[in-house]
Amino acid sequence: MPQEINKANFEQEVLKSEVPVLIDFWAPWCGPCKMIAPAIDEIEKEIGQKAKVCKINIDENPELATEYSIMSIPALMVVKNSAIMEVKVGAASKDELMSLLQKHL
């Protein structure tokens, strides 16, 4: 299961990560977020130690959503070396999400 990220662990787990991080900005009430959740779980299992897969609940962490200009969810962001490499808004297939991440490995 992807790690839950919040304001307290964001810097350590995302910005200081030695591997690329795929972040899923989501909320429990978001239908498309629920649709892609199984794909996110599978990507985490398949990617192994090459990258991290994390989730940020925007209802519980509105400051992170605001800081990263998240206006619509699901929003998937790849962060590498503290920099935002790519953002994908909206539901996507597992293959699309995996290729989004693999570009930055």
Convert 10-76 into a string of H (helix), E (strand) and C (coil): HHHHHHCCCCCEEEEEECCCCHHHHHHHHHHHHHHHHHHHHCEEEEEECCCCHHHHHHCCCCCCCEE
Give pLDDT, residue 4. 97
Report percent pLDDT > 90 for the chain.
99
pLDDT in tens, 77-100: 999 999 999 999 999 999 999 999
Domain that residue 86 falls in: 3-102
Q: Which residues are catalytic?
A: 30, 33
Under the banding of pLDDT at 50, 70 and 90, the label for residue 73 is very high
Identify the CATH number of the domain in which residue 93 sits: 3.40.30.10
Inter-residue contact 37 to 68 (CB < 8 Å): no
pLDDT band at 54 (very low <50, low <70, confident <90, very high): very high
Give the count of domains, the chain.
1
pLDDT of residue 1 exceeding 90: no
